[in-house]
Amino acid sequence: MAIAIRKPAELEKLKRAGEIVGNTLAYLQEEIRPGMSLKEIDAMGEAYLRKQGAEPSFKGLYGFTGSVCTSLNEVCIHGVPDETVVREGDILGLDIGSKLDGYFGDAAITMCIGECSEEDKRLIACAKDALYHAIDAIKPGMRFKELSYLLESFIRERGYVPLRDYCGHGIGTKPHDEPNIPNYLEGKANQGPKIKNGMVFCIEPMVCQQIGTPKLLKDGWSVISEDGLRTAHYEHQVAVIGNKAVILTNPSRDV
């Protein structure tokens, strides 16, 4: 397994690609209202991303038809934008990728449409808090499997379970690269590659309520839990710089 170590100039390009994603997610959070269709939301996200000079990296990737993964309610990841209308009390996952000067950005959030239930807020908080808990723990010399163990432990302590078979990943001049970073431990935590300064990767907790076994819907993309209950997903792209993880997908909003 060859995990790239990025030079400062590369890290700067990845930071800009990441900020564009962060800006777009922040924009959509402010603008999405009940009554909008998933296709309308996708078009808004693509237009805002392009306004910042980047290309939507998900569009056409592996055959995906949208620019934004719009994962509604029980859909955890890879929701396809269609004519479905979002309504008050729904929860919506937004996952966006950018390409700028040959480098990629990638991040995701789950948001309430209008006001959602306290139960849904707790579910969303688990995904978000697990993400930041993992980011805070990252340091050189730590193994990626230890990171997976931290994510799984946090999610289970909150009373939820991680989605199986899908994972975080490396990123750079490819949208998905080595290593794979599951949200659960496979094997032993003291095995496998170690985190080093200069590495760039995406961490993305995917949280289910009762069963982590995934089920692929008929559209060939949307992934739900076998329990059929609502799910949540959060993601940041981070670089290890100066012995700690630096978030590259925070918004700059310089647009």
Beta-strand ranges (E) seen in the chain are 55-56, 68-72, 75-77, 91-100, 103-112, 161-162, 167-170, 177-182, 200-203, 206-208, 214-216, 223-225, 232-233, 236-241, 244-247
Going from the C-alpha of 18 to that of each of 25, 39, 78, 113, 238, the distances in angstroms are 11, 23, 19, 25, 9
Report the amino acid identity of residue 114: G
∠ CA(86), CA(90), CA(230), 5° rounding? 125
- Calpha distance 225→209 (Å, rounded): 8
Report residue 253's pLDDT band, with 50, 70 and 90 as the boundaries.
Answer: low
Is the predicted pLDDT of residue 232 greater than 80, yes or no?
yes
Spell out the domain ranges in the chain: 8-240
Report the amino acid identity of residue 210: Q
Residue 95 confidence (pLDDT): 98
Angle (deg, nearest 10), helices 144-157 and 118-137: 150
Helix (H, G, I), strand (E, B) or coil at 114: coil
Q: Are 209 and 58 in contact (CB under 8 A)?
A: no
Q: Are 234 and 204 in contact (CB under 8 A)?
A: yes
CATH 1.20.1440.230 fits 8-240, yes or no: no
Residue 255 confidence (pLDDT): 56
Q: Are 99 and 55 in contact (CB under 8 A)?
A: yes
Residue 178 confidence (pLDDT): 96
Beta strands across the sheet bearing 200-203? 177-182, 167-170, 200-203, 236-241, 244-247
Reported as a single tens digit per residue, the pLDDT across 89-125 is 999 999 999 999 999 999 999 999 999 999 999 999 9
Q: Are 166 and 205 in contact (CB under 8 A)?
A: no
- Please give the average per-residue pLDDT across 126-136, as a whole number: 98
Report residue 60's pLDDT band, with 50, 70 and 90 as the boundaries.
Answer: very high
Tokens of 200: 């760039």
Report residue 29's pLDDT band, with 50, 70 and 90 as the boundaries.
Answer: very high
Residue 1 confidence (pLDDT): 62
- Please give the average per-residue pLDDT across 69-76, as a whole number: 98
Q: Are 243 and 14 in contact (CB under 8 A)?
A: no
Tokens 């959602």 map to which residue? 116
